[in-house]
Amino acid sequence: MVDVVVVGAGVVGLTCAARLQRDGMRVAVVTADEPARTVSRIAAAVWYPTHTEGDPRVLDWSRRTFAELVQQAGRGVPGVVMRPTRMLRRTVDGEFPWWAPAVPDFRVTAPAAVPDGYTGEWRFTVPSVEMSPYLDWLVQQVTGAGGVLVRRRLTRLADVAELAPVVVNATGLAAGVLAGDEAVHPARGQIVLVGNPGLHISVRDEENPAGMTYVHPRSGDVVLGGTFDRDVWDTTPDEATGRAILDRCVALVPELAGAPVLAHLVGLRPARDGGARVAVDPVGLPGGSRLVHTYGHGGAGVTLSWGCADEVVELCRASETG
């Protein structure tokens, strides 16, 4: 028997497993899919709490994750780098975003310094994560510390209750069924990968009336996006949507013109009305196992991952004291 079973091997589940091990707990991860086949693999994965409402708890999760990823970038963790970012603004609200206190170099650029049609610009540097090598690294951290990964598709969380006194539910979109949570829903995201013509700065135009627009360079390609389509389950890339994404991104960053298209990808973000649920289940599981939920992160899974994992550790530790 282990101390904790984590159900789910996306970035949220693996981060929880690694953090629990760091706290001295024995961990097993049960997953329906290999980590490389989870929706986390498709994520653009630039630290940014997209479509996330701010409150002190979420800001704390964001701060903690930012700090952890900065340390990882400094240690040369695979896939993690610090990425300068420009956010072009189309409105004037006079307010900093709620997440600005988590970003040390956040600053506002005067409107005169940005292209026509924009009212201003935010500039900041944040962690960027290439998910394929990062997920591999997380798996190595977990297994290297004695953890085990078990391939098993569950129909109910009670099926793993006999394996540990604590079960962590990090099942993402599947939590809608496994936790009976009607607030969980997909937010379909389509992206286009193109060859990198030498870009190193992320550029965003979240207020583009034609659709959210972002350009995120990586070591070997550039992630162009995107969409955030609520309650859409179709994972087949749409040709017209892909063309529109390319057009918006080339208009935003003209250096992209002529970049070879490498892939069109679609992923279903595990969104939840009311935001991420990180909490102890009031009922628990058969046999007295404590059930700790951490799901519903939507498009901010990487951004909130380590902060939520810290809270999961606290909730799991609470089981030892009653």
Confidence of residue 94 (pLDDT cuts 50, 70, 90): low
pLDDT at 286 over 60: yes
Q: What is the per-residue pLDDT across 215-269, written as a single tens digit (0 to 9) for each? A: 999 999 999 999 999 999 999 999 999 999 999 999 999 999 999 999 999 999 9
Tokens standing for residue 259:
């970049």
Query: What mean pLDDT do residues 301-322 have?
Result: 88
Instruction: Measure the CA–CA gap between 71 and 81, rounded to whole angstroms.
Output: 10
pLDDT band for position 117 (50/70/90)?
confident
Q: How confident is the model at residue 197 (pLDDT cuts 50, 70, 90)?
A: very high
* Contacts for 71-74: CB closer than 8 Å, 24+ residues apart: 72/127, 73/127
Q: How far apart are CA 103 and CA 106, in angstroms?
A: 6
Q: Is the dihedral of CA 100, 103, 104, 110 positive or negative?
A: negative
Question: How much is the average pLDDT of 45-57?
Answer: 93
What's the average model confidence in pLDDT over 308-321? 87
Amino acid letter at 75? R
With bands split at pLDDT 50, 70 and 90, how would you rate the model's confidence at 322?
Answer: very low
Tens digit of each residue's pLDDT (9 = 90 or more) over 2-42: 999 999 999 999 999 999 999 999 999 999 988 878 889 88
In this structure, of 28-42, 107-121, 222-236, 290-304, the range with the lowest mean pLDDT score is: 107-121
- Predicted TM-score (pTM) of this structure: 0.95
Going by pLDDT thresholds of 50, 70 and 90, the confidence category of residue 320 is: low
Average pLDDT, the chain: 94
Share of the chain above pLDDT 90, in %: 87
Query: Stretch 59-83: mean pLDDT, rounded?
Result: 98
Tens of pLDDT, residues 131-148: 999 999 999 999 999 999
pLDDT score of 319: 60
The domains of the chain, with CATH numbers, are: 4-321 (3.30.9.10)
Model confidence over 12-22: pLDDT tens digits?
A: 999 999 999 99
Confidence check: pLDDT of 87 > 90 = yes
CA–CA separation, 185 and 173 (whole Å): 7
User: Residue 82 — very low, low, confident or very high, per pLDDT cuts 50/70/90?
Assistant: very high
The 3-class SS string of 99-167 reads CHHHCCCCEEECHHHCCCCCCEEEEEEEEEECHHHHHHHHHHHHHHCCCEEEECCCCCHHHHHHHCCEE
Which segments within 251-312 are labelled E, that is strand?
261-272, 277-280, 290-295
Tokens describing residue 86: 């420009």
